[in-house]
Structure 1
Amino acid sequence: MAIIELEDVHKSFVKARELVEVLLGIDLTVDEGDFVALMGPSGSGKTTLLNIIGGLDSASAGQVVVAGNDLDALSNRDLAPWRAATIGFVFQFYNLLPVLNAQRNVEL
């Protein structure tokens, strides 16, 4: 059973009045229990793709279904509890608060 399904996913940004296309027609199916490594050079769209799968960002076009949920059908209000119940994140930047100890940072 597929836990992640991407169909023709695109993502673009406007930077300095220029359209930057980051993801171009990504198709991906990950079945439950699969182990997947996402690899590529810096700037190739890995983090953007993971943010879309995790519901932190949205695709410009295409369909993203994670754990049976079409993420485009979820409102911002519905995405937060969905992420809390469904997705786990390990960010590449820790964003720790230096005035707090490790336990307090984790509690946040």
Structure 2
Amino acid sequence: MNGTVNAMNGTVNAMNGTVNAMNGTVNAINGIVNAINGIVNAIYGTVHVIYGTVNAINGTVNAINGTVNAIYGIVDSINGINGIRNISLIMPLMEFLMPQMALMAS
């Protein structure tokens, strides 16, 4: 009788060992899944860093273009002021020449 009980206990112990081994396998699989998720998250993070860097470069390029455009605007303003100055210099000369030209035409 004791031998039968001992054999049954041994069978139960063997079953418990099998369950423990299965749990260990599940834990190992979960660890592998977690590692893969960590790698995927690292890749996503790297991609976001690259996007951020590209956006920063584009922002810098836009700032440079804006500065260049501002310089062009300043140059255009200076040219416009010089044009007005030239007109104001020419006007007295024209006021003098117009009557002379009218006399010559008559």
Which of the pair is proportionally richer in strand? Answer: 1
User: TM-score w.r.t. structure 2 length?
Assistant: 0.16
Which of the pair is proportionally richer in helix? Answer: 2
Greater relative contact order: 1 or 2 (C-alpha under 8 angstroms, separation 6 or more)?
1
